[in-house]
Amino acid sequence: MSQGFTDLDDWYQAPLGSRYFLRCWQALEKLLKPAPGMQILDAGCGAGHYSEKLAQTGALVQGVDPNNTLIERANLRVPSGTFQVGSLEDLPFSSQQFNCGICCNVLEFATDPVQALIELRRVCQQSVVVIVLNDRSLWQTQQSLARPFTNHPYYAGQFFSQQRLLELAIQAQWQVKMIAPIIHFPPLPFASWLAWAEGRFTNACWIAQLY
């Protein structure tokens, strides 16, 4: 993964990012059912936005990310959590260390997504919830159009079809309980536009529960 996602805080505070994060968290919380005392790994934790939500439920959260700056922010955002720099393809944890894990918009930027999923299976006892962007959405179209004009790592990511995500999980020897759509608005910058657009467009994002 790239070292370049240091603008995550700004994006999550803007209308598009805040709505995206809210919808992802609502879907993730419903599937994961975090509870006090649960040991949860936030793989590719970034600046700790999802970790903060998990910690608020009483879960015991640890996070890993390759970006030093984002790990520093995660430690500040979630004082009760434990965060460290590390690779998704070689997680710095012992086998079966966590009850479960999350991996939110990380596989799109992983060097080897299958190996990342294998590592998640190694360290998580029960399940993992994975979120990835849909390669057949307007988000993909916007990404493709902008890619030649920017060096931001988001635009180098590889989005996934539902079938591709299923194939990756199976290769990593996960059992797939479900894959469902969760985002139904395009990448528009204004809250009023997003409110109008929500539910009117092709799914932008898949959420998968793996056992």
DSSP secondary structure of 125-137: EEEEEEEEEBTTS
- What is the model's pLDDT at position 4? 72
Residues in the chain with pLDDT values less than 70 = 1-3
How would you label 117-134 residue by residue, b for 16+ Cβ within 10 Å and e otherwise? bbbbbebbeebbbbbbbb
Whole-model pTM? 0.96
Encode pLDDT of 131-143 as tens digits: 999 999 999 999 9
In this structure, which CATH number among 2.30.30.140, 3.40.50.720, 3.40.1350.10, 3.40.50.150 belongs to the domain 8-210? 3.40.50.150
The domain locations on the chain are 8-210
- What is the model's pLDDT at position 49? 98
